[in-house]
Amino acid sequence: MPSITRTTPAWLPLIAVALLATSCSDPSSAAPRDDASTAKINTSPDQHRVAVSKDARAASLLPARIRDKGTITIADSAGASGTPPLAFTADDNKTPIGVEVDIAHLLAAKLGVRLDLRTTSWENLFLGADSGAYDVVVSNVTVTEERKEKYDFATYRKDDLAFEATQGGSWKVKSGKDIQGKTIAVSSGTNQEKILLDWNKANIAAGLKPAKIVYYQSASDYYLALSSGRIDAYLGPNPTAAYHVATGGKTEIIGRFSGGGATVQGLIAALSKKNSGLAQPLAAALNSAIADGSYAKVLSRWDLSNEAVPTSQINPPGLPKEAS
């Protein structure tokens, strides 16, 4: 598949619009599914999930409507193929699995209620939360200032980006200057593209050699370009990069950065309807799991320990609104 290349952005003002629409939301630039036989990640329907015990204090904070029915409805976007390792289907092509699914099970167990797990498309997650069809959404949703006007959040992961390169090289990306002269692939209209373009612009202004930024049509095309040496690295969401590293065995992560750029650490959170009374018990459940170690075990199962947060926060500062 031929690529599109740019060394300097001719349409940088449009990025702000794209960022607002796509900021660490539906992770469409997902890692392709690799043969599970090469993976250390369990992709079978039999998940042997981390055992979690009820937290009485967290359970007592639940709204009466949830306590009375004894069930919490949590939605994710594991439908169809989903996005490994976030929410996707197991090897039987029907059982929802992934770190987001495990977090949903953890929350229900900590709150002492049954889990009614629903899988749907990305756009329907928010429609379902708005209508009350879903109590909670756990699906790689980033906290943003705009979303906080409509929803409450209880954080449970850092929102990080990762540079993925072939194994064995000496090149590491520790700052924007480290991309000079390299060929890097990225998905169009994403946070990571904006960060990459901004770095490249700053490097050019400083007299450094520009990076060559390339675009492909699918994730499999990105990884084919990486394995063939046509690109030096692929910048994408950290979870999908970590999954591909763990399952493919031929690449490594050479740099990680906040999905919020230099202004704020991006955070992934459980979303609930504004003033629904769920943010507090969700945060209490997560903090209980952090304290007893079950939270760390969940992230470790999916090679995402580096995205752990020390505490679950309610409605922390989110990605800022774009200037109008």
Structural domain includes residue 277: yes
- Specify whether 108 is located in the same domain as 134: yes
Structural domain includes residue 35: no
| 79-85-90-95 Cα dihedral, nearest 10 degrees | -50
Please state, in angstroms and rounded to a whole number, the distance separating the CA atoms of residues 152 and 295.
21
Rounded to 5 degrees, φ, ψ at 207 are 85, 15
Structural domain of 91: 49-158+267-307
Out of 219, 239, 258, pick the residue that ends a domain: 258
Predicted TM-score (pTM) of this structure: 0.80
- Segment 283-311 shows an average pLDDT of 96
- Specify whether 273 is located in the same domain as 236: no
Please state, in angstroms and rounded to a whole number, the distance separating the CA atoms of residues 189 and 27.
12
- What is the number of domains present in the chain? 2
- Segment 300-313 shows an average pLDDT of 95
Tell me the per-residue pLDDT of 41-81, one tens digit each, with 9 for 90 and over. Answer: 899 999 999 999 999 999 999 999 999 999 999 999 876 55
pLDDT at 31: 41
Q: Is the pLDDT of residue 130 over 60?
A: yes
- Specify whether 148 is located in the same domain as 224: no
- Specify whether 186 is located in the same domain as 219: yes
Structural domain includes residue 227: yes
Print burial letters for 99-133: b (CB count within 10 Å at least 16), e (below 16): bbbbbbbbbbbbbbbebebbbbebebbbebbeeee
For residue 157, the number of C-alpha atoms closer than 13 Å in the C-beta half-sphere is 32
The domain that holds 103 is classified in CATH as 3.40.190.10
Structural domain includes residue 39: no
∠ CA(190), CA(154), CA(130), 5° rounding?
75
Name residue, tokens 């429609």: 127
- Specify whether 16 is located in the same domain as 68: no
- Specify whether 138 is located in the same domain as 281: yes
Residue 73 tokens read as: 């409805």
- Specify whether 58 is located in the same domain as 192: no
